[in-house]
Amino acid sequence: MTLNVALLGAGRIGKVHAKAIAATEGARLVAVADAVADAAQALAAAYGADVRSIDAIEASDDVNAVIICTPTDTHADLIERFARAGKAIFCEKPVDLSVERVRACLKVVEETGAVLMLGFNRRFDPHFRAVRAEIDAGRIGAVEMVQITSRDPGAPPPSYIKSSGGIFRDMTIHDFDMARFLLGEEVDSVMATGSALVDPEIGRLGDFDSASVILTTASGKQCTISNSRRATYGYDQRIEVHGAKGAVSAENQRPVSIEVATAEGYTRPPLHDFFMTRYTEAYAAEIAAFVKAVDGGAPASPNGKDGLAALLIAEAALKSIAEKRAVSISEI
Amino acid sequence: MTLNVALLGAGRIGKVHAKAIAATEGARLVAVADAVADAAQALAAAYGADVRSIDAIEASDDVNAVIICTPTDTHADLIERFARAGKAIFCEKPVDLSVERVRACLKVVEETGAVLMLGFNRRFDPHFRAVRAEIDAGRIGAVEMVQITSRDPGAPPPSYIKSSGGIFRDMTIHDFDMARFLLGEEVDSVMATGSALVDPEIGRLGDFDSASVILTTASGKQCTISNSRRATYGYDQRIEVHGAKGAVSAENQRPVSIEVATAEGYTRPPLHDFFMTRYTEAYAAEIAAFVKAVDGGAPASPNGKDGLAALLIAEAALKSIAEKRAVSISEI
Amino acid sequence: MTLNVALLGAGRIGKVHAKAIAATEGARLVAVADAVADAAQALAAAYGADVRSIDAIEASDDVNAVIICTPTDTHADLIERFARAGKAIFCEKPVDLSVERVRACLKVVEETGAVLMLGFNRRFDPHFRAVRAEIDAGRIGAVEMVQITSRDPGAPPPSYIKSSGGIFRDMTIHDFDMARFLLGEEVDSVMATGSALVDPEIGRLGDFDSASVILTTASGKQCTISNSRRATYGYDQRIEVHGAKGAVSAENQRPVSIEVATAEGYTRPPLHDFFMTRYTEAYAAEIAAFVKAVDGGAPASPNGKDGLAALLIAEAALKSIAEKRAVSISEI
Amino acid sequence: MTLNVALLGAGRIGKVHAKAIAATEGARLVAVADAVADAAQALAAAYGADVRSIDAIEASDDVNAVIICTPTDTHADLIERFARAGKAIFCEKPVDLSVERVRACLKVVEETGAVLMLGFNRRFDPHFRAVRAEIDAGRIGAVEMVQITSRDPGAPPPSYIKSSGGIFRDMTIHDFDMARFLLGEEVDSVMATGSALVDPEIGRLGDFDSASVILTTASGKQCTISNSRRATYGYDQRIEVHGAKGAVSAENQRPVSIEVATAEGYTRPPLHDFFMTRYTEAYAAEIAAFVKAVDGGAPASPNGKDGLAALLIAEAALKSIAEKRAVSISEI
């Protein structure tokens, strides 16, 4: 069976997903919707799809699945709407910035039995997947401690902070999901600290551009996260997992791996400077996983509950900073 | 203008090129020819192209360019035929295993003024290109010495040896081209040694599976090449270039870059185990370069003369082993 | 002038220092004291020194300086005694496990004007020093975040825990000192979590074998520390410092740097398995720095105040775990 | 038993050996001889030894062994003299620059039954030894190919060329010895090329500063050597050995292993800039091995025959360049 997919949102990430659908056997892009008509038209033309309104897609019998890449504040409504319409749903994270709204939305998903997969793309990075595979294979024994380093090449414009929900809901949330992916046990409590060292304006808006977090599970497993909105040398994305028998780590990725040796030393080029080039393979793999999940091959994962779990950790981190104490997830 | 391309040969490498054309803006696959009808049909269908005979392609007004991926012994004839037909030509290496035949073929190319690009794909590997870019940028000063390591994961079946022309014409020829690409000066003389250490049957057929070569230019620049048909740890492809001010090198590539640390030590996964996954990006980039060359953007490079030059070095290497002496290219 | 040094304590670390003195120009080992007569005798003989009692050393006119390597609970008394005797003092860390006792001891040091240097050997590791030198040279701009990974090959016997004061006072204290060495600003508050994942007996004794800590300075600089008493792959000691213009890091050290490549992948040997081989150069350099400091070349550093500062952070970490909150250094 | 050692030659390398003797259990420096009285005096004083003439040392009953670090042209005479005097001998390489003279000298050594060890220090480098240990342990299967890269930070003054015997007898000779150490089979034939790319004056003196060599054994094992008298980034000393089951390699060594990451990329410091700091551990280990050999623990290795074998390869390399052909060792 071929999965007929409609794309809601023809922006930057929408283009990435359209390309991924085209490259996935068993899937076909049939419709594109976007508030900007030209954007929808260009993307639809490139992949032989139609431009349709969201209403029309909802009513389309030839559409089995939707990929939601619209602005964050529309996600929950669209998920509910397409869940009720019986379509399989892939939605960019987050479901919503409000825990309450996410819970309500997931209730609808549950009631309708809809397939919902959430776009935590890093779970599909081949290097991070390989880390997880080594854990699953028992190479490092029982997991004890995780270290996640995640630093963006540059800070977003302060205006972005408001709509993004701040560093923990927007950036660290990927690390919270990765921690859950690797720890093999739910996070129980959170300690966090945050500062605005990169851009004081971010601080004036009540957000942080530099953050450190410790996550602890009930059995005492620990995860440290180090975040910054500044990394002059490129997109710094490393994980290491320590277990009873050893450790496994994923190195940084660079587009070109050469080395120049001169009297000044040995120099390798900077890392990828953009998350889209860094995670090219991950974006393709997550769409392939979604297609497979809809096809019944495997449960959709990560799903809405994973999105909620990561959001709860983000909320706990914010509360930890505000109250200068360890915050339990159960408090949120 | 869109370049309409016909593909001659729908085998392994033909599929790679078909995919590359599809991904190249300004190019379109319009026809596929293959002696095996099913293979032609499947590939044509996948990219919305027609199946046509070679004769039909030669006569097609809507075809501007051909990509030749047929068996080696058909290359020279096809090049001549399509050069006369006024089509631009991309041909897998080699033009022919006979120096005389190559010379005759290139004469036709010259007379017809046809665009001919030869498939020395490694020149388009982003890492090797970056090495060359550092040289061109003057980072290491005047080039003095080049070291090329090129080891295949496994030996081909002895039956392949006959049609391939042996290790120097089939495998080392890539390194000879790379040496020319990096030295910035023509090779003047060749010293080579070869043994059959991997598979005695290869030795019985008069070929080698392990070879070491020294190339020297008129001004005294040197290049060493170390080749083997055996590399248990994957496809080993390294170059380093030393100049008056420093050195630049390209590291090996692996599909997954993680590291596992246990009491036994720190282990990274093997390298790519296949040239097609190792050089994925190079194959795409060479077709893009061909399309650009036909479009008038730049001269086709590497071209037929580059193919001849590499073949002359291969001949000199064989003569060097046979006569246990340094052989000048001018002797060939 | 030659510095005549007496060594108090001829155990494991005493031997290291005796060797360092012998290798330091301008210094000479003249006397050794140890409760175990044979140990004192053997070490004295090896370096042409006398065996003397601590009383005799205190009264020796020919001794300018003492190196204290006796059990921890004797340090503060010996420091006070030799400070009053007018000798320069190098003392293994810590001064004492009690903050109050340390403060009293340092008061005596201050009153007597004695030179006191404390054995935070890692400040003298050539790699860590080079990290600091890059910071001082402005290569990475203003320091923003520090990440310290420090994992011991194996847990000490539970019996050791009592006398050592636990993981924070014994092991992490080196990282606290390193954080101060690198942050360039005093630590203001501490968040910590600890578990007994390696040895449950350690947990029963109220201590931890796995710990994560976040240190924050008044201006918002952050340091994360990840500690474990288990590292099957050797002595894991890494630091990285991130600043406004870049980052600098020190890699792990291994006794032999070879790599074996097979079908299973690329394997490098484990790291050093013992702190004494890992920090060989550091031990030599710290004694050289002490000799230089006594000679008037530079202030003794790290000194007693550095020892106190690190101990206060350790106390704050313990309080943070007990009270599940961020603890300010000013509270201790 | 303590080995009483006399040192002939108190220059740069003599000092290194004096220090090594002092650090070797079971050995003691008792006498130093040098044409420069001050040099002998200073070194003798530093280690509690006497200054004696060579004649006096020859006649000294309390001297069991000599270490010869005098100028090259005195080596053979001194070896013969001390062999006849019944002393064990460690001699810096080479025995002599003349094959004939070496053969005559080794005859005397054989007749007298003297212990003679030759200073091919690199065999004692811990990393290269570890490479050899992996081969011996069967980790890479039967050795097939060896690649040696050996580049000096800078060219010696042309005046040095004459006394050194040129690049092959002075510099590459270490690589010839390393090839023999690793190949596990005698070299049968040699192909070499050389140029003067670094310093034209070296070329005018008939020597080379850039050389490439292929060594072949009777069974077809191959070794490539790449040499240059120029390496702006430090002392470049790498080996890799490929076998039927895998490969093992030794990386370059640098005094400080940190990495700075900025917008320009990731930079590690240059390598050691001097062979004495690069091979510190090797120099100590070779003297320890000599002491052990004299003590009867193991045969002296490398010995005079190893010196001769390496010299024969050097001669063959020179003949190969002169006659532009492969030269068999049996021709020398």
Q: Do D246 and B224 touch (CB under 8 A)?
A: no
Closest CA to A153 of A14, A17, A277: A277
Residue A231 has pLDDT above 90, yes or no: yes
Do the beta carbons of residue C126 and residue C281 sit within 8 Å?
yes
Per-residue pLDDT, A1: 66
Checking if the pLDDT of C297 tops 80, the result is: no
Task: Please answer yes or no on whether B244 and D226 come within 8 Å at the CB atom.
Answer: no
Distance of alpha carbon A225 from the chain centroid:
16
3-state secondary structure of B67: strand
| Residue C269 with chain D: CB contacts under 8 Å | 130
Is residue C89 within 8 A of residue C117, CB to CB? The reply is: yes
Q: Is B328 helix (H, G, I), strand (E, B) or coil?
A: strand
Q: What is the mean pLDDT of residues A103-113?
A: 97
Q: Answer for the pair D83, D54: CB distance below 8 angstroms, yes or no.
A: no
Residues of C with CB under 8 A from a CB of D: 126-127, 130-131, 134, 139-140, 245-251, 253, 255-263, 269
In Å, how far is B259's CA from the nearest CA of chain C? 9
* Cβ neighbours for B17, distance < 8 A, ≥ 6 positions apart: B7, B67, B69, B90, B283, B287
Other Cβ atoms less than 10 A from the Cβ of A205: the count is 15
Q: Do B267 and C264 touch (CB under 8 A)?
A: yes
Interval D68-95: pLDDT, tens: 999 999 999 999 999 999 999 999 999 9
**How does pLDDT run across C189-234, given as a tens digit for each residue?**
999 999 999 999 999 999 999 999 999 999 999 999 999 999 999 9
The Cα–Cα gap between A267 and D232 comes to 13
For the segment(s) A3-114, the CATH number from 3.40.50.2000, 3.40.50.300, 3.40.50.720, 1.10.150.20 is: 3.40.50.720
A25 DSSP 8-state letter:
T
To the nearest 5 percent, what fractions of chain C are helix, strand and coil?
40, 25, 35
Q: Give B-chain residues touching A250 at CB under 8 angstroms.
A: 257-258
Q: What is the 3-state secondary structure (H, E, C) of D250-276?
A: ECCCCCCCEEEEECCEEEECCCCCCHH
Q: pLDDT of A51-85, one tens digit each?
A: 999 999 999 999 999 999 999 999 999 999 999 99
**Residue C308: both structure tokens together:** 């106190």
Question: Residues C50, C44: contact at Cβ < 8 Å?
Answer: yes
- State the Cα torsion D152-D157-D161-D167 to the nearest 10°: 10
Choose among D130, D139, D256: nearest Cβ to C127: D256
From chain C, the residues in CB contact with B253 under 8 A are: none
Which pLDDT band, with edges at 50, 70 and 90, does C51 fall under?
very high
- Mutation pick from D251, D260, D264, D266 vs chain A, by most beta carbons of A within 10 Å, is D266
Question: Of A261, A262, A270, which is closest to D265 when you measure between CB atoms?
Answer: A270
D234 CB neighbours in chain B (<8 A) are none
Q: Which residues of C fall within a CB distance of 8 Å from A246? A: 232-233
If you count residue pairs, one on B and one on D, with CB atoms under 8 Å apart, how many are there? 119
Report whether pLDDT(A184) > 70: yes
Return the residue of B nearest to A25 by Cα. B46
Cα–Cα dist B256/A72, whole Å: 33
- Chain A's closest residue to D269, CA to CA, is A265
How many of the other CB atoms lie within 10 Å of CB of D312? Answer: 20
CA distance D102 to D73: 11
User: Are B266 and C268 a contacting pair at CB < 8 A?
Assistant: yes
Q: Which residues contact D300 (CB under 8 A, 6 or more apart)?
A: D88, D115, D116, D117, D290, D293, D294
Does the distance separating the beta carbons of B144 and D228 come in below 8 Å?
yes
Looking at this protein, which amino acid is placed at residue B236?
D
Instruction: Specify the fold of D122-331.
Output: Dihydrodipicolinate Reductase; domain 2 (3.30.360)
Distance from CA of D82 to the nearest CA of C (A): 32
Q: Which residue of A has its CA nearest to C227?
A: A145
In tens, the pLDDT along C249-287 reads 999 999 999 999 999 999 999 999 999 999 999 999 999
CA distances from B139 to B98, B240, B243 (A): 39, 13, 9
Task: For residue A140, give the nearest of B134, B140, B260 by CB distance.
Answer: B260
Residue A194: is its pLDDT beyond 90? yes
Identity of residue D34: D
Closest by CA position to A211, among listed A152, A273, A143: A152
Using one digit for the tens of pLDDT, what is the confidence trace for C76-108?
Answer: 999 999 999 999 999 999 999 999 999 999 999
User: Is the pLDDT assigned to residue D329 strictly greater than 70?
Assistant: yes
Question: What is the mean pLDDT of the segment spanning C314-320?
Answer: 98
pLDDT, mean of residues D264-272: 98
Residue C6: is it exposed, middle or buried by C-beta count within 10 angstroms (0-12/13-18/19+)? Answer: buried
| Nearest-neighbour CA in chain C from B254: distance (Å) | 10
In this structure, what DSSP letter does residue C301 have?
S
Report pLDDT digits (tens) over A138-159. 999 999 999 999 999 999 898 8
Place of tokens 């005294």: B220
Q: Do D270 and A269 touch (CB under 8 A)?
A: no
The encoded tokens of residue B135 equal: 């040289």
Q: pLDDT class for D1, splitting at 50, 70, 90?
A: low
Contact state of D222 with B325 under an 8 Å Cβ cutoff: no
Instruction: Give the whole-number percent of chain C exceeding pLDDT 90.
Output: 92
B238 chain-A contacts, CB cut-off 8 A: none
pLDDT in tens, C100-137: 999 999 999 999 999 999 999 999 999 999 999 999 99
The alpha-carbon gap from B105 to the nearest alpha carbon of chain A, in Å, equals: 37
Q: Locate the domains of chain D by residue range.
A: 3-114, 122-331
- Report the distance separating Cα B330 and Cα B310, nearest Å: 13
Model confidence band, residue D216 (pLDDT cutoffs 50, 70, 90): very high
d(CA A92, CA A164): 13
- Give the chain A residue whose CA is nearest to the CA of C216: A193
DSSP SS3 for D40: helix
- In degrees rounded to 5, what are phi and psi of residue C268? -105, 155
Radius of gyration of the CA atoms of chain B, in A? 20
Mean of the per-residue pLDDT values of chain C: 96
**Residue among D191, D233, D325 whose CB faces B246 most closely:** D233
The helix (run of H) or strand (run of E) holding residue A117 is strand A116-118
Residue C282 near residue C122 (C-beta atoms within 8 A): yes
Of B140, B250, B259, nearest to A249 by CB-CB distance is B259
Q: What is the average pLDDT across D107-135? A: 97
Neighbours of chain A (3+ CB pairs under 8 A): B, C, D
Chains with 3 or more CB pairs closer than 8 angstroms to C? A, B, D
Give all strands of the β-sheet with A88-91 in edge-to-edge order: A50-51, A27-33, A3-8, A65-68, A88-91, A116-118
| Overall average pLDDT of the A199-213 stretch | 96
Cα B194 from Cα C23, distance rounded (Å) = 53
The ipTM value here is: 0.95
State which residues of chain B have pLDDT below 50. none
Continuous segment of H or E residues that includes residue D151:
strand D143-151
Residue contact B232–C267, C-beta within 8 A: no
- What radius of gyration, in Å, describes the C-alpha atoms of chain A? 20
* A258, A265 contact by CB (below 8 A): no
* The pLDDT of residue A25: 81
pLDDT recorded at residue C1: 65
Strand bridging mode A143-151 / A222-228: parallel
The answer for residues whose C-beta is within 8 angstroms of residue B123's C-beta and 6 or more apart is: B129, B177, B178, B181, B282, B286, B302
